[in-house]
């Protein structure tokens, strides 16, 4: 019982460290480890036991954000129609992009790009799931691929904070409306006869 409680405490400490680091990245790319430990309410020993280097902590912040973003696709599809789920998922992408900008700014360029590239697959799979649901519903264009969407979303991690705060959701709206079938209506079956003007 005591061992289980210790394990739960250790997991709680680790999760708190990651969340604190995530929050601090919104205000600084320096991310001093002593500031993380202080804000998380843990000792330096606990911090370094979980994350031996600053790079390891940054990688975990990024991984946790990717996991959360990917998982949210299924959650949203379970709660909304496909088009609404996709649009709300794009709002989650805006939050993820903010964290990604912070992580990449805090890492050496080479390791930052390598980290981002290593997580493209799961994000692409989440997009494929959303696209498939939208096509089934008839609200998302059939000619759009997850690669297309990833390219369109790539701009978010390149915006500075001021630009992102001002325009990210507006630009996501533009992207989303470009993905939709005309007027959001169910597309005709291939070869169906045209009717009316």
Q: What is the pLDDT of residues 144-161, one digit of tens each?
A: 999 999 998 887 767 776
Stretch 154-181: mean pLDDT: 80
Q: Which residue has the higher pLDDT, 155 or 172?
A: 172
Plot region of 159 (φ>0 → left; ψ -120 to 50 → alpha; else → beta): beta
Determine the pLDDT at residue 1: 59
d(CA 156, CA 93): 9
Q: pTM of the full predicted structure? A: 0.81
Stretch 46-71: mean pLDDT: 94
Judged against a pLDDT cut of 90, whether residue 138 lies above it is answered with: yes
Comparing C-alpha atoms, which of 150, 141, 151, 145 is closest to residue 178? 141
Tokens representing 39 are: 């804000």
Determine the pLDDT at residue 34: 92
Give me the chain's average pLDDT, please.
85
3-state secondary structure of 82: helix
Judged against a pLDDT cut of 80, whether residue 164 lies above it is answered with: no
Q: What is the pLDDT of residues 60-81, one digit of tens each?
A: 999 999 999 999 999 999 999 9
Residue ranges of domains in the chain, CATH in brackets = 1-52 (1.10.10), 54-184 (1.10.357.10)
Q: Report CA torsion sign: 145, 147, 150, 154.
A: negative
Determine the pLDDT at residue 10: 81
Q: Which residue has the higher pLDDT, 187 or 136?
A: 136
* Band (194; pLDDT cuts 50, 70, 90): very low
Judged against a pLDDT cut of 80, whether residue 187 lies above it is answered with: no
Determine the pLDDT at residue 197: 36
Determine the pLDDT at residue 161: 66
How many Cβ atoms from other residues are within 10 Å of residue 142's Cβ? 11
Q: What is the pLDDT of residues 67-117, one digit of tens each?
A: 999 999 999 999 999 999 999 999 999 888 888 888 888 888 778 878 888
Determine the pLDDT at residue 165: 65
Comparing C-alpha atoms, which of 57, 71, 65, 53 is closest to residue 101? 65
């Amino acid at each position: 019982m005591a061992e289980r409680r210790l394990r739960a405490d250790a997991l709680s400490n680790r999760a708190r460290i990651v969340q604190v680091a995530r929050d601090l990245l919104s205000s600084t790319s320096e991310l001093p480890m002593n500031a993380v430990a202080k804000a998380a309410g843990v000792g330096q020993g606990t911090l370094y036991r979980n994350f031996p280097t600053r790079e390891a902590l940054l990688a975990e912040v990024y991984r946790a954000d990717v996991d959360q973003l990917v998982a949210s696709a299924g959650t949203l599809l379970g709660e909304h129609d496909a088009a609404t789920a996709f649009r709300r998922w794009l709002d989650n992408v805006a939050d993820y992009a903010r964290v990604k900008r912070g992580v990449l700014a805090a890492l050496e360029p080479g390791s930052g790009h390598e980290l981002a590239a290593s997580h493209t697959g799961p994000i692409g799979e989440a997009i494929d799931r959303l696209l498939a649901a939208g096509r089934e519903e008839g609200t998302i264009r059939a000619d759009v691929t997850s690669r297309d969407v990833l390219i369109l979303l790539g701009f978010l991690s390149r915006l500075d904070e001021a630009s992102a705060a001002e325009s990210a959701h507006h630009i996501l709206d533009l992207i989303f409306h470009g993905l939709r079938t005309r007027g959001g209506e169910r597309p005709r079956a291939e070869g169906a006869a045209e009717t009316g003007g």
